[in-house]
Amino acid sequence: MNSTYLLTPIDYLKGIGPNRAKLLKEELSIYTYSDLLHFFPNRYIDRTKYYKINELQRNDAEVQIVGKITHFKTIDQGKTKRLVASFTDNTGSLELVWFKGIKWIRESLKLNTAYVIFGKINWFNGQFSMPHPDLKSLEEQKKSLSGLMQPIYPSTEKLSKRGVSNKIISKAIENLIKLSYKQFSETLPDYFLKELNLMPKAKALLYIHFPKNAELLAKAKYRLKFEELFYVQLQLILKNKIRKQKIKGYNFTKVGRFFKEFYGQHLPFTLTHAQKRVVREIRNDMGTGAQMNRLLQGDVGSGKTMVAFLSCLLALDNDFQACIMAPTEILATQHHQGLLELCAPMNIELDLLTGSTKLRDRKRIHEGLESGELKILIGTHALLEDKVVFKNLGLAIIDEQHRFGVAQRAKLWTKNQLPPHILVMTATPIPRTLAMSLYGDLDISVIDELPPGRKPITTVHHYDSNRLKVFHFLRKEIKKGRQVYIVYPLIQESEHMDYKDLMDGYESIARDFPMPEYQISVVHGQMKPADKEFEMNRFVKGETQIMVATTVIEVGVNVPNASVMVIESAERFGLSQLHQLRGRVGRGAEQSFCILITGQKLSNDSKTRLEAMTQTNDGFKLSEVDLKLRGPGDLMGTQQSGILQMKIADIVQDQDILQQARQWAKKIIEKDARLELTEHTRVKNTYLNITKNKKNWKYIS
């Protein structure tokens, strides 16, 4: 279609005008003809069936009948009036009733003319009636596009109050299609339409608004969903390709002393097949001369940290430095402690930089970085400070990357002449379809295998009323020498309330687990970092058997001896958070348990979450359940949901179409990366048009 014509402001369309246009802009973000054309119905009323009056049932159903009005009468009842018309077909009669607009309706309707009526029927005083029917002459119905399956569009309270009804929107779209149908142009190549049996674009736009039957509607939906997802994937794949061509990176050609010595002599356990595969993928990336930009997904405890360390050793072998950035001091400290042990036998200089690092230590770290003596730096946001200058940073690893903004991640790029290789890691499993839509321009590695010897965590759900039974079980585990976490929810809006919940819980636990027989640590967000660390260390050393905490322990605490995770008010947690918390146990050889405690009253979503937790330990399966419950935007947070504001496709429901769209986007780029072939002119023009008017794509990675 003529794209300039489609950009015509909505004010100029017949049936709209400036006042309605203002409302459509404010309420539905419809500014142009194109916006209106791509404002799709969310349901349809099937008007393919016509009833005879003698077929009607007393069931309040919506029906459609062809007949004639034989006479009118106005009934006056004090202050109220109503207009009643007798409507007949060749099988019987019913009454049509109007309470508003009586004078206008009486003047506009003709006797003994064929009309189509549609509406809900009532049974009153031994006769059927239809109040305020939707009424058209049969002749008008035959000409109308919306005769058979009536589109129902999304609306708002304000639009309804101001009289911008479904009928008005439907009529405006009908006018627009009649006016411009011949100008609609195709956006996909002819061979796509043929091989995939896709409906042409013009027909798809006609039948998504005014389908003649359910089959045509299904074909129109499929075509428009495929197109939308195809162009999302095309952009992501092209973005990745262009980035690899344009953004040069350091070429790590050597696998040298550090990697070989560690792998051959100091590796504390045999890598899983998945870890080996991911290390190979990272090695290949860093040896291409282009900057690596890879997302590493792995469930809790799958061994991402070891993969990260081996990647650091490759940087060191090629005379570069590496850094690991974590979102919290607790996690950064843990990475530091874990990697210190691995670095010690090879005399690799490693240090930690966080907000609470003392000035004296900061100075030493800054000097070590600039001289190149300090090889690996682990830290929090403190790594992004301008004072932190590396001699030659070759690899930046970002842990739990969704907690850092794009601007923060980009700051690492400025630390060097060429940008370092980037490895972003997450223990929050992302459903495959969401990963394809959010991170389709990143290369993705998945560690989908847990180290051997790990026993699946047994997860059970108990109501508050079973608390004594739970405490009895905890005593038995502590007697065996194990340790226990008890976690309370964190609601950011009310830190005071969280603290109260936590302290109430602590007091009740202290009564049931009295000193000196039991020692309890308490950790929450309002504590000073030093106090928090002191309590954490007591628990890590085994000096306390129970840790009472808020979700500050969600990531980063690794205590193999802790075998029970109790989650209080589990219904107040999201599924991924429950899974992350559960991952704090099950790190040793012993059987571990996760106990979810809730109140009696649970919503359906809460029941689904708790059931999923008790049925599987697989984070990827849980992420699929979470995606279905919360939707893509909620799952990733508003910061990253821009890509998912789609007009018609739904990445939860339309996974098969998404897979197919990605395959075809790959196919077209492999065949014609610059979209220069004549057969791809439409694709190139549409792609340029989308990227030029980029409203929804700005959030991609």
Alpha carbon 656 to its chain centroid, in Å, reads 17
**Residue 306: which of 484, 461, 451, 145 has the closest Cα?**
451
Out of 65-69, 217-221, 440-444, 526-530, least confident range: 440-444
Alpha carbon 327 to its chain centroid, in Å, reads 21
d(CA 546, CA 520): 5
Q: State the Cα angle at 140 between 139 and 145, rounded to 5°.
A: 120
d(CA 437, CA 645): 11
**Residue 326: which of 381, 256, 259, 253 has the closest Cα?**
381
pLDDT of 633 reads 52
**Residue 62: which of 109, 101, 144, 117 has the closest Cα?**
117
User: Between 405 and 412, where is the model more confident?
Assistant: 412
Supply the DSSP symbol for 254: -
pLDDT of 31 reads 92
User: Between 590 and 605, where is the model more confident?
Assistant: 605
* Alpha-carbon torsion (561, 567, 568, 574), positive or negative: positive
Res. 493 pLDDT band, cuts 50 70 90: very low
Q: What is the mean pLDDT of the chain?
A: 85
pLDDT tens-digit series, residues 277-300: 999 999 999 998 888 888 898 877
pLDDT tens-digit series, residues 245-260: 788 888 999 999 999 9
Helix (H) or strand (E) holding 523: strand 520-523
Which positions ≥6 away from 275 have C-beta within 8 Å?
303, 306, 307, 447, 449
Angle between helix axes 201-209 and 166-180 (nearest 10 degrees) is 160
The two three-digit tokens of residue 372, written as one number: 């190149």
Alpha carbon 130 to its chain centroid, in Å, reads 45
Q: How far is CA 146 from CA 1, 54, 174, in A?
A: 22, 26, 8
pLDDT of 61 reads 73
pLDDT of 313 reads 96
User: Between 65 and 3, where is the model more confident?
Assistant: 65
Out of 96-105, 411-420, 422-431, least confident range: 411-420
User: Between 479 and 438, where is the model more confident?
Assistant: 479
Give Dmax over CA atoms of the chain in angstroms.
102
The owner of tokens 């069931």 is: 59
Residue 687: pLDDT above 50? yes
Residue 309: pLDDT above 50? yes
Residue 128 pairs with which residues in a beta bridge? 123
pLDDT of 412 reads 67
**Residue 68: which of 91, 54, 88, 93 has the closest Cα?**
88
pLDDT of 199 reads 95
**Residue 526: which of 484, 494, 555, 554 has the closest Cα?**
494
Taking the CA of residue 10 as centre, how many other CA atoms within 13 Å lie in the half-sphere pointing to its CB? 24
Residue 575: pLDDT above 80? yes
pLDDT tens-digit series, residues 144-154: 766 578 898 99
Average pLDDT over residues 393-398: 92
d(CA 213, CA 142): 15
Q: Is residue 461 helix, strand or coil? A: strand
pLDDT of 97 reads 92
| Helix, strand and coil percent figures for the chain, each rounded to 5 | 50, 20, 35
The two three-digit tokens of residue 620, written as one number: 């990827």
- Highest-pLDDT range among 330-339, 414-423, 516-525, 657-666: 657-666
pLDDT of 469 reads 93
Q: Report pTM.
A: 0.66
**Residue 379: which of 398, 402, 353, 405 has the closest Cα?**
353
Res. 325 pLDDT band, cuts 50 70 90: very high
Alpha carbon 377 to its chain centroid, in Å, reads 32
Helix (H) or strand (E) holding 376: strand 376-379
Q: State the Cα angle at 680 between 676 and 684, rounded to 5°.
A: 75
Q: How far is CA 537 from CA 232, 247, 557, 690, in A?
A: 48, 43, 10, 54
Domains of the chain: 49-147 (2.40.50.140), 257-286+303-426 (3.40.50.300), 458-616 (3.40.50.300)
pLDDT tens-digit series, residues 2-60: 557 778 899 988 889 899 999 999 999 899 998 999 999 988 887 778 889 988 887 76
Number of CB atoms found within 10 A of residue 111's CB: 11
Residue 273: pLDDT above 90? yes
The owner of tokens 């109007």 is: 98
Out of 76-90, 200-214, 223-237, 545-559, least confident range: 545-559
Res. 639 pLDDT band, cuts 50 70 90: very low
pLDDT of 647 reads 84
SS (H, E, C) 255-303: CCHHHHHHHHHHCCCCCCHHHHHHHHHHHHHHCCCECCEEEEEECCCCC
Q: What percent of the chain has pLDDT over 90?
A: 40
Which positions ≥6 away from 227 have C-beta within 8 Å?
187, 188, 201
Whether residue 391 contacts residue 417, with contact meaning beta carbons closer than 8 Å, is answered with no
d(CA 554, CA 271): 25
**Residue 399: which of 297, 318, 475 has the closest Cα?**
297
**Residue 457: which of 577, 567, 556, 591 has the closest Cα?**
591
Name the pairing type of β-strands 114-120 and 62-77.
antiparallel
Helix (H) or strand (E) holding 663: helix 655-671
Q: How far is CA 318 from CA 266, 312, 315, 414, 500, in A?
A: 20, 10, 5, 20, 53
Number of CB atoms found within 10 A of residue 613's CB: 24
d(CA 45, CA 335): 59
Cis before residue 516, ω within 30 degrees of 0? yes
- Highest-pLDDT range among 312-321, 355-364, 558-567, 690-699: 312-321
Radius of gyration of the chain (CA): 33
Residue 315: pLDDT above 90? yes
Q: Is residue 66 helix, strand or coil? A: strand
Out of 19-28, 72-81, 673-682, least confident range: 72-81
pLDDT of 437 reads 66
Name the pairing type of β-strands 92-98 and 127-131.
parallel
